[in-house]
Each structure stands twice: as C-alpha cells, then as structure tokens.
Amino acid sequence: MPSPFPGMDPYLEHGARWPDLHHRLIAYTSEWLRPQLRPKYVARIDERIELKPYGKELTGSSLVVKTPRQLSGPQVANGSPVTDEPQTIRFLDDERRVPYIQIVNVASGEVVTLIEVLSPANKIGRGRDQYFEKQDKILGTPVNLVEIDLLSRPTATYARFFELHSPHDWRYNICISRPQRRTSVEVYAIPLWDRLPRCKIPLLPEDDDAVVDLNSVLARCYEVGAYHLLLDYSKPPPVSLSKAEEEWLEALLLDKGMRTAPAPQ
C-alpha cells in the first residue's frame, strides 16, 4: 500500500520511525544510482561515528575502570586511618553510527561526491553544531556535497547560508554544492503538497550528472518498510503544520479514506 502523500509523508518524521527510514533512504538511493554510475564510479555506503559526550543526560552505559580492593578491618598508617578504595566508574559517550553515501572514482579511488541524508540529531543543539563543523570541512575540499533534508525546518543544510524565499511554503529541501562554484548552490525547496524531485547528483566536471528520483526511492522505502501498518493517519502528524497545511492534509486523508469526516452538528 503506498503512502497517501504525493511526496514526503510527515508521519514518517516521528522519532520512532525515522531511524529505520533513514537507513532505507541511504540503501535505496545507493541502489538507484548503481546502473548510472558503473563502470567509472561506485556508490559505497560508509558510516561515521558521532559521540554525544556525557553532560546533563546520563546514559545507561558505564565502564568500570578501577576495581576496589577487598574491604578489611581498621588499618592505620603513620597514625592516620587508611581508606578503603571505591570503584571508579566512567560514563561512556553515547556512540551513534551515521550512514552516508560516497561516490568513488574507481580508477583513482578518490571520493567524488558525498550524499548526506539529515537526521534530527543534525538539526538541534550540539549535534547541529557538529554537523556544521563537518559540513564546513567538506566545503573546503574538491568533493561535491548533496544534502537531503526530509525533516521539517529548521534547516541544517547548506541553505543555512542564505534565505529561501521561493516557494514561501517550503518544508523540505535538497542542497547541491559543487567545488567548482562554492559561491552558488542548487536548491530544491519542497512544500508538503509537492512530490519530491528527480534530483541531480554531480560527478566529475567532465561527466553528466546522475539522477535520483527521490519520490520513487521514498515509495520503495514505504512499501518495503510496511509503514502503512505502523502509521496512524487518524491522528495529527508529529510535526507542526501551518493552517493551510493542516487543511490540505485533512482534505487529502479524507479523500484517501484514512480519516472520517466529523458528523454534522
């Protein structure tokens, strides 16, 4: 059963659904690209490790780094009591593995393009700052950067450097930055009611761009992930909507038979 939405389904932004969707978007985008890239390029799924340092939030993981000696009776050294040694326990950093796509030139082994699918951790607090640091490093290299942001604002993509005014009702965006012209960026700004774009994926300058049909990728994620069994469209979505978006969503779900019109008073 397909999603009732023509493009991104805001119900998939729920925290319990997004991690699974994120992995599928990475896998099926790589799969979509494969026939367009070979034999000159390959799309590899790699991952980086991000650490959320210990702070106000305690994690359930801990590590004993020093064990105590056996408790004994009273001991005195040089007239002073000798203490019993406690255990020393260090809280572990919260380790998060983040997948992304590298397009690699087979002949040279060099990375040509990075494709990032943003997650909630990239958009708030310390995680947002860490993503910006990584983003800045990439923009200083000869690598194409494609950022796919299918989470509602605020943005953490390259679009942070400018204001998007058209269309005024955009909710999701894809940004493409090419090393030959870092002073400009290609942007797909997508309202809730639009389909996702057939997105350019740049390669080396002498080669034509590859193309990813993000709507088709998302449809495959939805079908294989059986999200229609997990999402309750009778309830509001897990994101805030404008009045126009609320009215459109209500009409759409009524038309699809996923909501029941309220009884007349």
Rounded Cα distance between 100 and 242, Å, is 31
- pLDDT score recorded for residue 56: 41
- pLDDT score recorded for residue 125: 77
**Spans in the chain with pLDDT lower than 50:** 53-62, 64
Domains of the chain, earliest start first = 10-52+92-232 (3.90.1570)
Chain segment 102-133, per-residue pLDDT in tens: 999 999 999 999 999 998 888 777 778 888 88
Of 126, 146, 125, nearest in space to 135 by CA: 146
- ∠186-118-160 over CA atoms, to 5°? 50
Say if CB 127 and CB 52 are below 8 A apart. Answer: yes
- pLDDT score recorded for residue 74: 60
Amino acid sitting at position 5: F
Chain segment 40-79, per-residue pLDDT in tens: 999 999 987 765 544 444 334 445 455 555 655 566 666 6
- pLDDT score recorded for residue 226: 97
Pairing of strands 144-149, 111-117: parallel
Rounded Cα distance between 149 and 154, Å, is 10
Rounded Cα distance between 57 and 32, Å, is 39
The answer to pTM > 0.85 is no
Q: Which two tokens stand for residue 190?
A: 């997508």
- pLDDT score recorded for residue 30: 97
- pLDDT score recorded for residue 118: 92
- pLDDT score recorded for residue 68: 59
Rounded Cα distance between 136 and 46, Å, is 19
CB within 8 Å of 143: residues ≥ 6 apart: 111, 112, 113, 114, 179
